[in-house]
A and B are shown apart, each in its own frame.
Chain A
Amino acid sequence: MTRKTTLIAILAAALAGLVIRLYQVGSMPPFLSNDEVSIAYDAYSLARTGRDEHHHPWPVSFESLGTFKAPLYGYLLAPLTLVLPNSDLTAKLPSLTAGVLTIIIIGLLAIEVTGKNEVGAFAAWILAVSPGHIHTSRMVSESNVAFFFLILGLYLFISGVNYSRRKKTKMLLSVIPLIASMYGYHTEWGLVPMLILLLTATYFGKKKIKSGLFFVGAGIVLALPLIFDYLDRLGTSARANSEMLWREGRIIKLIDSQKFLGAKLLVVIKVFLSNYLSYLNPDYLFFGGLRLLPGEHPYQIGLFLMPLIIALIAGFISLKKNLKKQHFYFFIGWLALSPVVPALTQGGYNLMRNLVSLAPLSIVTAVGLFELWQNRRRIAIGVIAFCGLFLLFDSIIYLHHYPIELAASYQGYEPVARYLKPMIDQGVIVKIDNRFGLSNEHVGVPYLYFAYYEKWDPAILQNRVVTKEGTVYKNFISATQIDWQKEKIVPGRIYVIPCANPPSPAVKSKLRLIQSFTDLSGRGSFEVWRAI
């Protein structure tokens, strides 16, 4: 395959990836989640006031819902909110763009590490149709943006490994996107330093120690704001503190049950290894890694299309043969290090945390597909044909069935917010019950949705007042729940409630239903009542 044909194939993969990621982007995921709308609102607030929701000026981490999110996504989205409307698509744009660009970069990176154009084309297509990557590209995903910068940094470095003067500059400049990815997501906080050390040890060595030291030193300097911010956040509920596996209750009990330090360490190592290997389980990669449906469900989708399991196995077997000798040890190290950070966190499988593993696994699968194409062409054609079938089938499941199945668990406040905007602008007091779901089993953050979709002045959130009735944002009251037995009905007030908490007979005579909303499955989700 010539270089020109390969580039066309990679660009075609990117275009296909764009179409797949854009197609009905509003249907699945159907609405923004807590975290997504928080990022979107912080970006909106930042663009207008230079401060986040909690009034912190130009923060290095966004306090958000107490999780102190990595900042990169918010800063990328902020300028977009100045020119584009506050919509789901606007919020998703950075992730969508990063997702499409990653397809191109992974193709180029695969060519660099293998020296084979076909592998690059295959890698790009594998990522383009990967359900895991498609899903994260359709969300407001900090992980997806961080993933792009990580792959870009690796590509710049690897493509510069020729020791000519100009290309050495490329290698050294690669530290910028690599460190940028650390500002994108917490997984990269652990992975990127390890990769930087691995790159330094593999490619700089003793002869180029000055360059190596500059590379590492530049990384440390660029990461300093992040380091200081992390130290500042120690003791908070920031994810970097609270999500580590040794903070999980079950693990703490196991550790405490052991007398000796060695045994305690062994418990942590066992749990870590179990988590680590679970991320390499073919069931997770090809059959159910997306985990969008709860529990044991027949229609789970994997991170990669199922037929590619054959290519992955072939890829592992023929990896040494197909990688360039100079890149072999780095690639194995990269493959081995990718699931380390996700394995150190609690809570089981997590697509966002383990997104970084998609890159080396895509390249291994591409190598396998290339090997099959060269030596067992019929099997390769069969794999590709079945991939097409599975892509179609998974698309139907994802776009048609998942929204129906998951409808009740999504916070569908957008239509409610848009409906109530004129009334809120006129100063009508709106009180909202924060719960949602078929039996009010979920607790939402409706104030953020209203603030984002209605383009509230950021000062309203920054000047919120906590009262007995709920948190008050000017004329919007966000209540943990509305208990009709105790609620004092104020004439003229608007009540937004989940359908599972209808007004009791005692108060119904004082209220009039003015609008009801359904979720994507057609079930009632929210009702708007006005006090007479």
Chain B
Amino acid sequence: MIFVRLSLIVLVVIAAYVRRLPKAKALILLGMVLTSPLFVYQFTSQIYYFWWFVIFLLWSAVLFSKTKATTIFAKVAALLITAFLILHNNGLVDSRLNLDRERTFLINNKFEDKIVKFQQQATYMPYRLRFKVFGTWIVAVNVVGRTFRFLGPDVLMNIIGVGFVALLVIGAINKGIRWELLTLFVGGGAAALARDPNTLTYFWLWPALIIISSEGMKRVGTRLAIILFLLNFAYILVP
């Protein structure tokens, strides 16, 4: 546990260094990470230390790398491994990437049954078209919707704190953050497939969250940063 917490602190320091944040802002960013509910409350034995080390190295490579090839390789590898770990943590896939359908949201609340019911009601079109129109793509739409629900500001607020969310939003506007946003989205999407997404999912998204928020810290003034930190801190005072 200490190792993992320390590695997060190191990641913050690296992100602050690479972004060339002033010391005050770097400290504030570190403070926000240390006071986020995810850092304070979320640590269990379900963390795969080896894979966390790999993720840490890959994102550090993303931050430090000066060659395009290395950066692309590190980003793609980090994204794929993150997605796999999230799927695995939520019990959706095993080590051989076999999908466990019973654990997906399709089985939850008879989701699939409701799709079939609507297909049967749609007597105004031929059966094959009904299946294709009302079946396949509505699942994709729902996955996207659940992803946004999982990554929505109201949910993230309770995971990382309201100040952190504000930094994320400000940082997300930057074009250079696209890959980190994609990682968030893919990771959230992987979790959204689950019947009951595990909050440990957010843990694997820490590197992307830290990098995006460091970008956001660049754009805000020190006073606003302090206010956001205080908001974050106040949040963990009341469970």
Using CB atoms and an 8 Å cutoff, list the residues of chain A in contact with chain B: 258, 263, 266-267, 270, 273-278, 280-284, 286-288, 295-300, 302, 306, 316-317, 393, 396-397, 400-401, 404
Nearest CB on B from A346, distance (A): 15
Using CB atoms and an 8 Å cutoff, list the residues of chain B in contact with chain A: 105, 108-109, 111, 114-115, 118, 121-122, 124, 133, 138-139, 141-142, 144-146, 148-149, 152-155, 157-158, 162, 165, 173, 234-235, 237-238
For A288, list chain B residues within 8 Å (CB).
Answer: 145
- B148/A287 in contact, CB under 8 A: yes
- A273/B124 in contact, CB under 8 A: no
A258-B238, A281-B152, A400-B124 given; A296·B108 CB < 8 A: yes
A266-B237, A266-B238, A270-B238 given; A281·B138 CB < 8 A: no
A278-B152, A278-B154 given; A317·B173 CB < 8 A: yes
Q: 13 new A-B pairs (CB below 8 Å) besides A274-B158, A295-B109? A: A277-B152, A277-B154, A281-B149, A281-B152, A282-B148, A283-B152, A287-B149, A296-B105, A297-B114, A298-B115, A298-B142, A302-B145, A393-B133
For B153, list chain A residues within 8 Å (CB).
Answer: 277-278, 280-281
For A302, list chain B residues within 8 Å (CB).
Answer: 145
For B115, list chain A residues within 8 Å (CB).
Answer: 298
- Select from chain A the residue with minimum beta-carbon distance to B169: A316
Instruction: Choose among A275, A277, A286 the residue that contacts B145 (Cβ–Cβ < 8 A).
Output: A286
Assembled-state Cα–Cα distance A296/B109 (Å): 7
Nearest CB on B from A29, distance (A): 18
A-B residue pairs in contact (CB < 8 Å), sample of 8: A273-B157, A274-B154, A277-B157, A281-B154, A283-B149, A283-B152, A298-B138, A401-B122
Give me the 7 closest cross-chain CB pairs, A-B, nearest first.
A287-B145, A281-B152, A283-B149, A278-B154, A277-B154, A277-B153, A282-B148
For A397, list chain B residues within 8 Å (CB).
Answer: 118
Assembled-state Cα–Cα distance A296/B146 (Å): 10
For B118, list chain A residues within 8 Å (CB).
Answer: 298-299, 397, 401
A281-B148, A317-B173 given; A299·B114 CB < 8 A: yes
For A278, list chain B residues within 8 Å (CB).
Answer: 152-154
Nearest CB on A from B104, distance (A): 12
- A282/B238 in contact, CB under 8 A: no
- A283/B234 in contact, CB under 8 A: no
Instruction: Choose among B165, B173, B234 the residue that contacts A266 (Cβ–Cβ < 8 A).
Output: B234
Which of B118, B121, B138, B155 counts the most A-chain CB atoms under 10 A from its CB? B118
Assembled-state Cα–Cα distance A296/B104 (Å): 13
Instruction: Choose among A277, A280, A298 the residue that contacts B139 (Cβ–Cβ < 8 A).
Output: A298
Nearest CB on B from A528, distance (A): 29
Assembled-state Cα–Cα distance A286/B142 (Å): 11
For A266, list chain B residues within 8 Å (CB).
Answer: 234, 237-238
- Select from chain A the residue with minimum beta-carbon distance to B235: A270
Assembled-state Cα–Cα distance A298/B155 (Å): 21
Assembled-state Cα–Cα distance A333/B145 (Å): 28
Assembled-state Cα–Cα distance A275/B165 (Å): 15
Assembled-state Cα–Cα distance A270/B148 (Å): 21
Which of B108, B138, B238 counts the most A-chain CB atoms under 10 A from its CB? B238
- B162/A401 in contact, CB under 8 A: no
- B237/A283 in contact, CB under 8 A: no
For B144, list chain A residues within 8 Å (CB).
Answer: 287
For B138, list chain A residues within 8 Å (CB).
Answer: 298-299
For B237, list chain A residues within 8 Å (CB).
Answer: 263, 266
For A274, list chain B residues within 8 Å (CB).
Answer: 154, 157-158
Nearest CB on A from B215, distance (A): 14
- A267/B238 in contact, CB under 8 A: yes
A288-B145, A317-B173 given; A298·B152 CB < 8 A: no
For A270, list chain B residues within 8 Å (CB).
Answer: 235, 238
Assembled-state Cα–Cα distance A338/B72 (Å): 42
For A277, list chain B residues within 8 Å (CB).
Answer: 152-154, 157, 165
